[in-house]
């Protein structure tokens, strides 16, 4: 039986790595960060430390100059470096050499199954996809096995997620887009078709969605909030994966991105802000 998870290391403290760290701060874990670009990280780590102190939560928060220092006593390592397969393999291999033998290595990748990374490590029974959702207050995380991940490690991963008050979305069979992103892809895809085909106004689609689901934002408002460049890239990745012409995002969306109409962040997207 592997040890309890007490120390969590985050490798890659960019946008998502920081958000994951913030989330874990609310529990009594020791948190260790490593990033090749240390800019601003000491300040960030001190803020998390103060937050823990203020809330009376134990467990230190540290930033390390080297990956080996950051993982040497870890029970769980979450990799959140950029979405490049070779880089993730290199990081997994380094972690495998430096972390204690019982430690679990997880990737936060949005699109790479851990089965494509696992060849880089010896401990193939201790790897996971743990895919956190942005915004971080979305209390759910996809969890997926590699080809040799043990049931014990999978259960341990689920227990960790429950402990940080997120619902594990269990992926039974390897699946591009995991669970919720796949549902959201289908919604986006058809909303974009309704818009492009002129079948209904975006306002009508948003109202219909809000009435039916009780959500505060409709799909077009959500896409504007996410950023239309991000939406376009994600939809293109589904298209590349499936090769199905039905998945190709509309040319009109591409043209909006090229014109710099990216949604909320440029004050113009489907709506004007
Ligand atoms: N951005 C999102 O909304 C989102 C949502 C879910 C999952 N993800 C996934 O999270 C991962 C990270 O995405 P992000 O948006 O945080 O990217 P990001 O570019 O903001 O952060 C990546 C961080 O990794 C660091 N890094 C690069 N090479 C490194 C190395 N060799 N060792 C250590 N650190 C290194 C960079 O300095 C950077 O701080 C990706 O796999 C992405 O698919 C992103």
Distances (CA, A) of 34 to 5, 39, 106, 119: 19, 11, 15, 23
Atom of ligand 1 nearest to the CA of 109: 41
Provide the H-helix boundaries in 62-106.
Answer: 67-71, 85-98
CATH topology match: 7-170 vs 180-266: no
Q: What is the pLDDT of residues 62-93, one digit of tens each?
A: 999 999 999 999 999 999 999 999 999 999 99
pLDDT at 25: 92
- Please give the average per-residue pLDDT across 100-105, as a whole number: 98
Band of residue 134 on the pLDDT scale cut at 50, 70, 90: confident
Atom of ligand 1 nearest to the CA of 107: 41
Burial of 219 (0-12, 13-18, 19+ CB in 10 A): buried
217 Ramachandran zone, left/alpha/beta (phi>0; psi -120 to 50): beta
- Ligand 1 atom 9, closest CA: 109
- CATH superfamily of this structure's domain 7-170: NAD(P)-binding Rossmann-like Domain (3.40.50.720)
pLDDT at 138: 81
CA of 206 to the centre of ligand 1 (A): 31
Residue 112 has pLDDT above 80, yes or no: yes
Average pLDDT, the chain: 95
Residue 135 has pLDDT above 80, yes or no: no
CA of 207 to the centre of ligand 1 (A): 35
Band of residue 1 on the pLDDT scale cut at 50, 70, 90: very low
CA–CA dist 68, 89 (Å, integer):
16
Band of residue 15 on the pLDDT scale cut at 50, 70, 90: confident
Q: Alpha-carbon dihedral of residues 60, 64, 135, 191, nearest 10 degrees?
A: -160
- Ligand 1 atom 30, closest CA: 36
Band of residue 113 on the pLDDT scale cut at 50, 70, 90: very high
Residue 172 near ligand 1, beta carbon < 6 Å: no
Residue from 26, 61, 67 nearest 165 by CA: 26
- Please give the average per-residue pLDDT across 228-254, as a whole number: 94
What is residue 4's three-state secondary structure?
A: coil
Band of residue 3 on the pLDDT scale cut at 50, 70, 90: low
Residue 2 has pLDDT above 80, yes or no: no
Non-local (6+) Cβ contacts of 255 within 8 A are none
Q: Could you tell which of 80, 107, 142, 227 is best to mutate to test the pocket of ligand 1, judged by most ligand atoms within 8 Å of the CB?
A: 80
Residue 21 near ligand 1, beta carbon < 6 Å: no
CA of 200 to the centre of ligand 1 (A): 37
SS (H, E, C) 142-203: EEEECCCCCHHHHHHHHHHHHHCCCEEEECCCCCCCCCHHHHHHHHHHHHHHHHHCCCCCHH
Structure tokens, 263: 């949604």
- Stated pTM of the model: 0.90
**Percent of residues, the chain, with pLDDT higher than 70:** 98
The ranges assigned to domains in the chain are 7-170, 180-266
CA–CA dist 53, 50 (Å, integer):
5
CA of 11 to the centre of ligand 1 (A): 9
CA–CA dist 61, 7 (Å, integer):
10
Which residue in this structure is represented by tokens 């936060």? 108
CA of 80 to the centre of ligand 1 (A): 5
Residue from 273, 228, 234, 272 nearest 254 by CA: 228
**CATH code of the domain made up of 180-266:** 1.10.1040.10
CA of 147 to the centre of ligand 1 (A): 24
CA of 1 to the centre of ligand 1 (A): 31
How many C-beta atoms lie closer than 10 Å to residue 102's C-beta?
Answer: 13
What is residue 47's three-state secondary structure?
A: helix
pLDDT at 137: 66
Residue 1 near ligand 1, beta carbon < 6 Å: no
Atom of ligand 1 nearest to the CA of 132: 6
């Amino acid at each position: 039986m592997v040890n309890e998870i007490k120390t969590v290391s985050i490798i890659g403290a960019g946008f998502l790595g920081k958000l994951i760290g913030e989330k874990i701060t609310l529990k009594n874990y020791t948190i260790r960060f490593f990033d090749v670009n240390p800019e601003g990280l000491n300040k960030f780590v001190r803020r998390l430390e103060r937050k823990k102190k203020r809330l009376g939560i134990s467990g230190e928060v540290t930033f390390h100059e080297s990956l080996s220092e950051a993982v040497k006593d870890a029970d769980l390592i979450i990799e959140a470096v950029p979405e490049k397969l070779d880089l993730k393999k290199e990081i997994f291999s380094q972690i495998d050499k430096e972390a204690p033998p019982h430690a679990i290595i997880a990737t936060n990748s949005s699109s790479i199954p851990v089965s494509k990374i696992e060849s880089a490590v010896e401990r193939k029974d201790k790897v996971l996809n743990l895919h956190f959702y942005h915004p971080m207050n979305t209390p759910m995380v996809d969890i997926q096995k590699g080809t040799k991940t043990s049931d014990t490690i999978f259960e341990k991963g689920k227990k960790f997620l429950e402990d940080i008050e997120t619902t594990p979305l269990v992926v039974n069979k390897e699946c591009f887009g995991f669970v919720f992103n796949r549902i959201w892809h289908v919604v986006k895809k058809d909303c974009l078709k309704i818009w492009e085909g002129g079948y209904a106004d975006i306002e009508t689609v948003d109202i219909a969605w809000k009435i039916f689901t009780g959500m505060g934002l409709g799909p077009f408002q959500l896409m504007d909030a996410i950023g239309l460049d991000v939406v376009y890239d994600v939809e293109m990745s589904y298209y590349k994966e499936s090769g199905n012409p039905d998945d190709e995002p509309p040319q009109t969306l591409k043209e909006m991105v090229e014109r710099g109409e990216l949604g909320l962040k440029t004050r113009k997207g489907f709506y004007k802000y």
